[in-house]
């Protein structure tokens, strides 16, 4: 069982335009989580960036998390059990659910413009961030 200790707070909906296909995992534009439950008042879209030096950055409602990842053969991905997170203020209640799903992922797939992070129990869907709306 995965336990998250980084944020004990209780807790955005931005839509992303569909850009051209042929995306890579590492993208300067980043990815926005689209299968998040309704964004609470005052919340915002969660974004994920995979950087080329095997580092990732996640932006939650208020805080950011970061760590290292490793791409492996056959679209497997190795993510840490925990990420280092800032805690400037409390994120909404969906932040721990996002982090739990993110850390559980062991595969990824890119179908057109959609990134999927896949674990044995769920799929997380992301679209590229629309630069014009940022």
- How many folded domains does the chain comprise? 1
Read off the pTM: 0.73
24 part of a folded domain: no
Whether the CB-CB separation of 121 and 103 falls below 8 Å is answered with: no
8 part of a folded domain: no
105 part of a folded domain: yes
Cα 118 to Cα 46: distance, rounded to the nearest angstrom: 17
- The pLDDT value given to residue 130: 76
Bridge partners, 114 (sequence order): 111
- The pLDDT value given to residue 6: 38
7 part of a folded domain: no
71 part of a folded domain: yes
Q: What CATH number does residue 38 fall under?
A: 2.40.128.270
More confident residue, 34 or 56: 56
Q: Which residues contact 30 (CB under 8 A, 6 or more apart)?
A: 47, 48, 49, 128, 129
45 part of a folded domain: yes
More confident residue, 93 or 39: 93
Maximum distance among all Cα pairs of the chain, rounded to whole angstroms:
41
55 part of a folded domain: yes
26 part of a folded domain: no
Q: Which residues constitute the domain of residue 75?
A: 31-133
Q: What is the pLDDT of residues 39-71, one digit of tens each?
A: 666 667 889 999 878 899 999 988 999 999 998
Instruction: Quote the mean pLDDT of the chain.
Output: 76
Tokens for 16, please give them.
């992303």
Mean pLDDT of 15-25: 46
- The pLDDT value given to residue 37: 60
More confident residue, 53 or 27: 53
């Amino acid at each position: 069982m995965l336990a998250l200790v980084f944020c004990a707070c209780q807790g955005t909906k931005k839509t992303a335009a569909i850009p051209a296909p042929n995306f890579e995992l590492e993208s300067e534009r980043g990815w926005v989580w689209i299968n998040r439950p309704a964004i609470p008042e005052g919340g915002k879209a969660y974004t994920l960036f995979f950087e080329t030096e095997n580092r990732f950055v996640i932006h939650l409602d208020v805080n950011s998390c970061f760590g290292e990842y490793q791409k492996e053969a056959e679209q497997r991905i190795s993510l840490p059990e925990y990420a280092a997170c800032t805690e400037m203020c409390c994120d909404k209640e969906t932040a721990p659910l996002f982090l739990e799903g993110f850390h559980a992922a062991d595969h990824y797939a890119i179908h057109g413009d959609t990134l999927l992070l896949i674990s044995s129990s769920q799929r997380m869907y992301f679209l590229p961030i629309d630069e014009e709306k940022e």
